[in-house]
Chain A
Amino acid sequence: MNDFLIILIKTCVIYGCLIGAAALMTLAERKFSAWMQLRYGPNRVGPWGLLQPLADGVKFIFKEELCPDGANPWIFRLAPILSAVPAMLTVAVIPFAGDVNLFGVDCGNLSITDLDIGVLFLVAIGGLSVYGVILGGWASNSKYSLLGGLRASAQMISYELSLILIILCVVAMTGSLDLRAITEAQNTGNPLSWNVFSQPLAFVIFVIATFAETNRHPFDFAECEPELVAGFHTEYSSMKFALFFLGEYCAMIVMACLTTTLFLGGYSVPFWEDAPWFVELGSFCAKAGFFAFLFIWVRWTLPRFRFDQLMHLGWKVFLPLALANLLVTGAVISLA
């Protein structure tokens, strides 16, 4: 019973933190974009506009639901859920810190669960998000939505290949699909044992592929405003729109966490091998926070690609490079 209580509390706390972080990231996105354009950004609701996400949420709930004539009402309502739920589920296997000891109670490792197939789970569940996007685009009965949904799904599945192959390089080096085992293999107290130093090319491909995978700038063809208005969620309003948004930001945060775990040693602290769990958590949040910030930074720095350039990059550059990287990694492991 006590075990179940701990599991329940851990699940709820981590899920709450994910939603909170996604909400904060919507604010950060607007704040940073404002600062980069010499504006103030939201500053009316609470200090520094900190309560803005809350105000947005309340407004979303009381907005009128619009369902276009000719749209498929059931799929139209189901799509936002299908898009948001898998994105939130992927956080389950991310290891945030080591063994947590709170007020003398041993709460186990700080993660919702430690699956021995964690990487596979993350890739498999994360890949389901594409259904929400394409179904939402199709069900809206709008041309912009349809084209946006199509583009988004083509882009997501193209980059998923390079993403998986890159993850396999790290898996081959560790010999485990468990994200905690991958972290522990890098947790030697020496930052040079982080995978980013042994797999620099993989790291670069991975970071760029996460941008394409989450439909972020400079690859945001699903919703590039000058062409497709808002892409697959053109026809969505109120909380259904918010769910798409929340799913997108949750996916970004999980991707930032995954980059940290695979390449930057996860929760390992430089030069301190067995740090207490709160230091590990701080280290993890600092690294993941940087990658979350990178999503925003890049958005306001780079111009957008063209769609054929994106597919060209995915299939003709990243896929062969990722395969070659995997084969070289395999050669080093097998022939050493």
Chain B
Amino acid sequence: MSTVRNQAVLTAMQQGLHSCEGCGLLSRPASGGHEGRCPRCGHELTFRKQASLQRTWALLISAAICYIPANILPVLTTTTAAGAESDTILQGVVLLWSPTGWPLSLIVLIASVMIPLAKIAALAYLLISVQRGSVRNNEQRVRLYRIVEIVGRWSMVDVFVDTFTASLVQLQPLMAVEPASGLVFFAAVVVLTMLAALSFDPRLIWDPSSSKEVHYA
């Protein structure tokens, strides 16, 4: 469609209304106030998530820092009669690779190595584009945000693989598997990126476009 809608696009914020994140109720803050409480569910209200950009950046940078030791340090140590051997996430992927086991190996590679990295890159792109006041590709950017929200939890998979391998393979003195220090950093990456996605406010993507009077539909 290339028709020009001549009406202004109005957001709740432009009308001085709080849209509740908890229950969806629209309400008006007391005269001139910026903060308030939702009369229906009691949630603390602000126009946008508080300090969304700063918080998301802080969590994202922490995640990026933890991503390095998470991939360099071993996540599992296997002790057998022949000695101890430690594997990083990538070595685990390689070990799992076989003519029959390659699909699972691929899943671990995507979930543990690629998803966290893609998530960090995607959120950084969203943050930078919001800070530059970009008005382009809004639909794609909000779609990207939704994908980040949905896919993020799957990077937990390696935490569970290592947890249950370690708790099951306790066959001393034949063989014992224990977690190693990389797992802590890896778990931190997963949690930090999930928190970063939660603290980002997707409404910020649209704010620069909303302030324009004419909306091209």
Report if A and B associate in a common complex.
no
Which B residues lie at the A interface, using CB under 8 A? Answer: none
